[in-house]
Amino acid sequence: MQIPFFHDHLLMSKVSAIKNIIENQLADTDCFLVDTESNSTETVIKFFIDGNAGVKIDFCAKLSRTISKELDNLGLEEDAFRFEISSPGIEKPLVDIRQFPQHINRTLRIEQDENIIKGMLKKIDGNNLEIKIPKSKKLPDQIVNIEFNQQIKIKVIPSFK
């Protein structure tokens, strides 16, 4: 279905307004906007935030209420779409270098092109990630350095210990 230009333009101005509100609200915190996502009809826009120590649900709820009030003040009703504020969750890839410090000493799954490695994040230096790959029957532990960029898909492997 083709979305009329005026609807698309109105939606983008609302998304931009919400991004601005989020960034202003997060300015004095250790949290940051990570990503946005929408469904195929763009009736639900999700804004994902993260922080140095993760993000609590109460913080997301408070931010959501603040955004609603600000949209009302700007005269931008929420009738064309609904927005959600949440943390990315463990199933989402890490897409911002600022997400990595909270995952030091956790196991990551790193995909680049056809290569997949699993290893423990040991250190971050700028955009460089130091990963410890555990020994195998034939090889000792290895330390590899990977430069973080958008072509690499990195997920945290949950530990249930």
What pLDDT was estimated at residue 4?
40
Cβ within 8 Å of residue 117, ≥6 positions away = 109, 110, 131, 133, 144
Q: What is the pTM of this model?
A: 0.79
What pLDDT was estimated at residue 5?
38
The torsion defined by the Cα of 100, 106, 107 and 111, in degrees rounded to 10, comes to 0
**pLDDT tens across 35-63, in order?**
998 877 767 889 999 998 889 999 999 99
What pLDDT was estimated at residue 141?
85
What pLDDT was estimated at residue 129?
95
Name the stretches of the chain with pLDDT < 70: 1-13, 42, 76-80
Q: Which regions of the chain does DSSP assign to beta strands (E)?
A: 31-38, 44-51, 82-86, 107-112, 115-125, 128-133, 142-147, 153-156
**What is the C-alpha separation between 76 and 60, in angstroms, rounded?**
20
